[in-house]
Amino acid sequence: MTGAAPLPLTVLTGFLGAGKTTLLNRLLRQPALDGTLAIINEFGAIGLDHLLVETSEERFALLDNGCICCTVRDDLVTTLTGILARRDKGELASVTRILIETTGLADPVPVLHTLLVAPALSGRLAVEGVVTAVDAVNGLATLNAHPEAVKQVGLAERIVITKTDLASDAELERLRIALGLINPAARVLEADMGHVAAARLIGTGFDPDALGRAAVDWFASATAPAGFVCSDPQAGDPGHVHGPGCGHHLPAGVVRTGHAGIETHAFVIDQPLSSPAFFRWLEYLTLLKGESLLRMKGLVELDDDRDRPLLVQGVQHVLHPPVRLPAWPDQTRGTRLVFIVRGIPRDVIERTLARFADVDAAAIKNPARGAMAASGNMAA
Amino acid sequence: MSAVHAVSDLVLTNGRIYTVDPARSSAEALAVRNGRIIAVGTDADVRPHIGPETRVVDLGGRLAMPGIVDIHTHMMMGGQAELFELRFGNTLRREAILDQVRAAAETTPEGKWIIGAQWGSDLLALFNSEESLALLDAASLGRPVMLRDDTYHNRWVNTAALRLAGITEDTPDPDQGSFGRDPSSGRLTGIMIEAAAGLIERTIVASGHYTEDMDRAAVAHSIATLNQHGVTAFLDAAAMQPVLAALKGLDDRGLLTAWASGAMPVTEPSFLFGVAGEELFALRDTFRSRHVRPDFTKIFLDGVPGARTAAFHEPYTPDAVFGCCFRGTTLATVPELVRWIGRCEDLGLSVKIHCAGDAAVTMALDALDVVRSFNGPTRLTHHIAHASYIRDADIPRFRELGMGADLSPFIWFPTAFLEGHKQTMGVERATRFWPNRDLLDAGALMAGGSDWPVIPNPNPWTGIEGLVTRQNPHGDFPGESLWPEQALDIATVLEIFTINSARMMGLGDVVGSLEIGKSADIIVLDQDVLTCPAGAIGKTRVLQTWFEGRLVHGTEALA
């Protein structure tokens, strides 16, 4: 039957050598991930052989803690619809969540697109977004050299720094700053010897309270003054960056990251929005600027029901189905939007919101003026 | 002070040269080297460029000007019809048509198609009978036959054609089309209505009837026709793969005597067949050559007012089929248009949007407004094709948004088209047609296009006269003017047909005016269109057409 609650689903990505495999291997042993069905390219690739207790058929393998691994044979939709059909029949009843590892793919967006738009999967999955693994030792060099790596970080819901035991404190600090410059909103976790608390990496599907709290956290992180370009003339060395709390000053150029042009724009709107107008604007934004829009997330106050905010999320041209939350997650009301973009000026978003979402320009505010100017000034 | 003067290949001298440069200046002479203009001025200015090898042409005081740029043509159809198909007027009756078919069948190899046009749509009832089909079968001597009607929407085919298309008495009607059946017997008659016509056309294409050699010959024939009328650059407004391949093939052989651009349809049009959209865009660089620029795409946003398929803000006149309040429909939504325009801008392609009704115009402008708001300025110029019925409030938006107005076809004067519009829209609305003066005053970029073969030939001079007089240049509808307040002066009109069209084609720095460095695309006329009576402009003959300094029409000696 299709009335079952949507299965929470997380996409795990990361550059080659980022330690995804080790991470996944360790994650699947944790009790918090009991009931996880992991979709991977091949069993051998993640070194699970010693955990396998049963391979009842070619594509399915049961781990000793009850997790299931499944390899993709034809395509992802076929694999997932097969799993959902078996679950509907009462098989795979223990499965409570899905984790997809995008082995060998630099760009997780096609996978997200498939998950969110395939008619056969409609309403069956609660896509929680992307977890991106970044290597503590080589991560910064990778970010500086590969725009695809920057994109993986930019669109992440959560970021895991792997191999922290192999990096110096200074290396770690620089990486944290770089990650904060690219994606100030995502929660950053550190995995020690491949270990990270699984419960902190995954969400809770469509649980509206948790979704609301996560959105508030996201917005708070995105607007917190951390990791910005120092404009203090006394500090010398213009363009250098410093970390949260202005602790360490790093020389300009160390955090170079071919991500000049990656910016985070946050908006507060003190005016309830009309749903058709807002979604018309959002459609135009994704149609015309999808390539440059790494991530967007927002709590939206619509004029048809001001007590129940709408959670909207998107990655590039792909929008998650919006979720009506039962109440505002904190004391603050009013629309909050965060965009992580590559080359979309803030004023384009502001002007087009006013124009096509029928918003009074005076009602659109910058919640973190000054602090948010950061990454736009970064020299490549 | 001595100057070094490059020796030219060609000098035109003793002329009245109207350059259409920004100063609208005049000159007597002009020198050309390697196809480009190297000097413009008085005879004395240009004389030092004459060397022993220079060809010197005495214009005998005649008017010369830049070659005409036609912003809207369909190159394949006109040439194919003239070279390879039976052509008969829509006044020809059944027996005479059958005589032509029989004569063609006698010289057509067995198995080869006979294609012809255009029978009058008033013959539909007569042809839609078993008796007529039997006569057509007899005349065709076993060859498959397809005859197009004068609307180009419907066909009459014989039994051999039905067989090749796999159509039997049991075949269900296609979507948006039908097979004609004899009212008394219910049996097929070979009449193919709307989408049914496409089944036959596709069968012919699939049979390999149109070879690349034929395509090239057809396009070459069309280009020769354009050259004859003084046209040296054109934009094919629905350029499918065979058109682009033919243009490239001609250019590779040094036979393309005009600058060519093509607008690749974003979806397969109802009257053309083959790959379209992304699949076609992906091929565009294989067709690019020195003179071929496949840098446009085409979107059909509505139909035509006479058939009530154009989209208007106000309803059509009441009608038995559509009722009281039908406004026509658009074939795309604003977001769909936004997506296409955005995608084309990403690819560096300009979009030509067919908009026959004022609501379609509004929608196209709305979509461009969205794109400009998100994307900022662009070097691309998008077009509204047939910018003719336009709501007052939309007129300033052309300039504000940088939307080019493609004025085509040449029907800004009383015509049979207008009579049809009066029936479907009422006289008052129908005659608020082509607000060209208002567009000019609002700063819109307007360009001239023929839409040939929608009109019988691409002669621009009738169109040019009509823009000035707003009266029918062929002498039909004597004494009638269409919205005369919208008339333009001749100098403005010449800009519309030269430099403006060049800009809208993205060739403003190459053609469109006679300036140093530009292509030597020059026409010599038999009269001075700037000073002759406006009512005589349409009779202008082009004595010579030069393309890149090569004579491609006329003779060097001017009588």
Instruction: Show the tokens assigned to A259.
Output: 């991500």
Residues A201 and A77 grouped into a single domain: yes
Q: What is the pLDDT of residues B403-424, one digit of tens each?
A: 999 999 999 999 988 988 999 9
Q: Let me know if B87 is exposed, middle or buried by CB neighbors in 10 A (0-12, 13-18, 19+).
A: exposed
Among A173, A188, A206, which residue terminates a domain?
A206
At the fourth CATH level, which superfamily is domain B301-488? Metal-dependent hydrolases (3.20.20.140)
**Helix, strand, or coil here: A261?**
coil
Distance CA B543, CA B36 (A): 21
Mutate to test the interface with A, among B336, B343, B374 (most CBs of A within 10 A): B374
What is the share, in percent, of chain B residues with pLDDT greater than 90?
Answer: 85
Residues A165 and A302 grouped into a single domain: no
pLDDT of B161: 97
**Helix, strand, or coil here: A256?**
coil
Instruction: Show the tokens assigned to B252.
Output: 């590779």
What radius of gyration, in Å, describes the C-alpha atoms of chain B? 25
- Of residues A35 and B446, more confidently modeled: B446
Are the C-beta atoms of B510 and B519 separated by less than 8 Å? yes
Distance CA A280, CA B313 (A): 22
Chain B residues close to A351, C-beta within 8 Å: 373
B342:A287 CB<8 A: yes
Q: What band does A78 get if pLDDT is binned at 50, 70 and 90? A: confident
Are the C-beta atoms of A294 and A322 separated by less than 8 Å? no
A284 touches chain B (CB under 8 A): yes
By mean pLDDT, which of A362-376, B369-383, B431-445 is the weakest? Answer: A362-376
Chain A residues close to B372, C-beta within 8 Å: none
The residues that bridge with A316 in the sheet, in sequence order, are none
What is the edge-to-edge ordering of all strands in the sheet holding B145-149?
B86-87, B114-119, B145-149, B155-157, B188-194, B177-181
A283 touches chain B (CB under 8 A): yes
A353 touches chain B (CB under 8 A): no
Phi then psi for B66, rounded to 5 degrees? -65, 150
In a domain, A242, yes or no: no
Distance CA B517, CA B513 (A): 10
**Helix, strand, or coil here: A222?**
helix
Closest Cα of chain B to A320: distance in Å?
A: 19
pLDDT of B433: 97
Chain A residues close to B375, C-beta within 8 Å: 288
Distance CA B232, CA B234 (A): 7
A356:B373 CB<8 A: yes
- Is the confidence at residue A286, as pLDDT, over 90? yes
E strand or H helix at B293: strand B292-300
From residue B113, give the alpha-carbon distance in Å to each of A136, A216, A330, B204, B402: 72, 71, 76, 8, 46
Chain A residues close to B342, C-beta within 8 Å: 287-288
Q: In chain A, whose CA is at the least distance from the CA of B375?
A: A288
Chain A residues close to B374, C-beta within 8 Å: 284-285, 288-289, 348, 352
A285 touches chain B (CB under 8 A): yes
Which residue among A287, A348, A356 sits closest to B339, beta carbon to beta carbon? A287
pLDDT of A227: 44
Residues A193 and A295 grouped into a single domain: no
Instruction: Show the tokens assigned to B361.
Output: 């115009």
Chain A residues close to B371, C-beta within 8 Å: 288
CB pairs under 8 A between A and B: 28
Are the C-beta atoms of A156 and A129 separated by less than 8 Å? yes
- Is the confidence at residue A61, as pLDDT, over 70? no
- Is the confidence at residue B280, as pLDDT, over 90? yes
Closest Cα of chain A to B157: distance in Å?
A: 43
- Is the confidence at residue B104, as pLDDT, over 80? yes
Instruction: Show the tokens assigned to B139.
Output: 């005349």
Distance CA B215, CA B76 (A): 7
Q: What band does A380 get if pLDDT is binned at 50, 70 and 90? A: very low
Closest Cα of chain B to A346: distance in Å?
A: 11
DSSP 8-state secondary structure symbol assigned to residue B496 = I
Chain A residues close to B344, C-beta within 8 Å: none
Residues A46 and A195 grouped into a single domain: yes
Q: In chain B, whose CA is at the least distance from the CA of A284?
A: B335
- Of residues B344 and B272, more confidently modeled: B344
Residues A60 and A201 grouped into a single domain: yes
Residues A195 and A268 grouped into a single domain: no
Q: In chain B, whose CA is at the least distance from the CA of A287?
A: B339
Which residue among B339, B346, B374 sits closest to A348, beta carbon to beta carbon? B374
B371 touches chain A (CB under 8 A): yes
pLDDT of A101: 83
- Is the confidence at residue B371, as pLDDT, over 50? yes
pLDDT of A373: 39
B373 touches chain A (CB under 8 A): yes
In a domain, A225, yes or no: no
For B429, how many CA atoms within 13 A lie in the half-sphere containing its CB?
A: 19
- Is the confidence at residue B325, as pLDDT, over 80? yes
Residue B409 preceded by cis peptide, ω within 30: yes
Which residue among B338, B373, B376 sits closest to A287, beta carbon to beta carbon? B338
Q: What is the mean pLDDT of residues B500-507?
A: 98
**Helix, strand, or coil here: A209?**
helix
Q: Let me know if B110 is exposed, middle or buried by CB neighbors in 10 A (0-12, 13-18, 19+).
A: exposed
- Is the confidence at residue A331, as pLDDT, over 80? yes
Residues A170 and A26 grouped into a single domain: yes
B338:A289 CB<8 A: no
**Helix, strand, or coil here: B348?**
coil
From residue B76, give the alpha-carbon distance in Å to each of B89, B201, B245, B261, B281: 20, 15, 11, 13, 19
DSSP 8-state secondary structure symbol assigned to residue B5 = -
- Is the confidence at residue A74, as pLDDT, over 80? no
pLDDT of A223: 83
A362 touches chain B (CB under 8 A): no
Q: What is the mean pLDDT of residues A25-35?
A: 81
* CATH code assigned to B113-206: 3.10.310.70
Distance CA A82, CA A60 (A): 12
Chain B residues close to A283, C-beta within 8 Å: 335
B377 touches chain A (CB under 8 A): no
By mean pLDDT, which of A246-250, B359-363, B482-486, B495-499 is the weakest? Answer: A246-250
Are the C-beta atoms of B444 and B395 separated by less than 8 Å? yes
B371:A288 CB<8 A: yes
Closest Cα of chain B to A339: distance in Å?
A: 15
| Alpha carbon of residue A141 to chain centroid | 21
ipTM: 0.86
In a domain, A178, yes or no: yes
Chain B residues close to A292, C-beta within 8 Å: none
In a domain, A202, yes or no: yes
Q: What is the pLDDT of residues B517-547, one digit of tens each?
A: 999 999 999 999 999 999 999 999 999 999 9
Distance CA A79, CA B299 (A): 38
Mutate to test the interface with A, among B347, B366, B373 (most CBs of A within 10 A): B373
Distance CA B554, CA B232 (A): 14
Q: What band does B473 get if pLDDT is binned at 50, 70 and 90? A: very high
Distance CA B237, CA B77 (A): 12
By mean pLDDT, which of A13-17, B108-112, B276-280 is the weakest? Answer: A13-17
In a domain, A201, yes or no: yes
Residues A199 and A283 grouped into a single domain: no
pLDDT of A206: 65
Q: Which of B17, B59, B61, B62 is nearest to B41 (CA)?
A: B17
B375 touches chain A (CB under 8 A): yes
A287:B373 CB<8 A: no
Residues A117 and A196 grouped into a single domain: yes
pLDDT of B240: 95
Which residue among B338, B346, B376 sits closest to A284, beta carbon to beta carbon? B338
pLDDT of B262: 97
Q: What is the mean pLDDT of residues A344-367?
A: 95
- Is the confidence at residue B209, as pLDDT, over 50? yes
Q: What band does B8 get if pLDDT is binned at 50, 70 and 90? A: very high
A288:B375 CB<8 A: yes
Q: What band does A296 get if pLDDT is binned at 50, 70 and 90? A: very high
In a domain, A336, yes or no: yes
pLDDT of A47: 56
B335:A283 CB<8 A: yes
Count of beta carbons in the 10 Å neighbourhood of residue A157: 25
Domain carrying residue A315: 262-377
pLDDT of A63: 64
Largest separation between any pair of C-alpha atoms in chain A = 69
- Of residues A6 and B172, more confidently modeled: B172
Most confident of A364-378, B259-273, B435-449: B435-449
Domain count, chain A: 2
Chain B residues close to A279, C-beta within 8 Å: none
Residues A185 and A307 grouped into a single domain: no
A288 touches chain B (CB under 8 A): yes
**Domain CATH code at residue A69:** 3.40.50.300
Closest Cα of chain A to B342: distance in Å?
A: 6
Q: What is the mean pLDDT of residues A324-342?
A: 92
Q: What band does B428 get if pLDDT is binned at 50, 70 and 90? A: very high
Break chain B down into helix, strand, coil percent, rounded to 5: 35, 20, 45
**Helix, strand, or coil here: A193?**
coil
B373:A285 CB<8 A: no
In a domain, A306, yes or no: yes
Q: What is the pLDDT of residues A192-239, one digit of tens each?
A: 766 777 777 776 666 778 788 888 888 888 887 644 444 444 444 444
Residues A298 and A201 grouped into a single domain: no
A284:B335 CB<8 A: yes
- Is the confidence at residue B178, as pLDDT, over 80? yes
DSSP 8-state secondary structure symbol assigned to residue B314 = S
Q: What is the DSSP string of A304-323?
A: T-TTS-EEEEEETTEEPPPE
Q: What is the pLDDT of residues B114-123, one digit of tens each?
A: 999 988 878 8
pLDDT of A243: 45
**Domain CATH code at residue A280:** 3.30.1220.10
Chain B residues close to A285, C-beta within 8 Å: 374
By mean pLDDT, which of B33-42, B205-214, B400-409 is the weakest? Answer: B205-214
Q: What is the DSSP string of B108-151?
A: SPTT--EEEEEE-GGGHHHHSSHHHHHHHHHHHTT--EEEEETT
Count of beta carbons in the 10 Å neighbourhood of residue B61: 11
- Of residues A167 and B437, more confidently modeled: B437
Q: Where are the domains of chain B?
A: 113-206, 301-488
In a domain, A245, yes or no: no
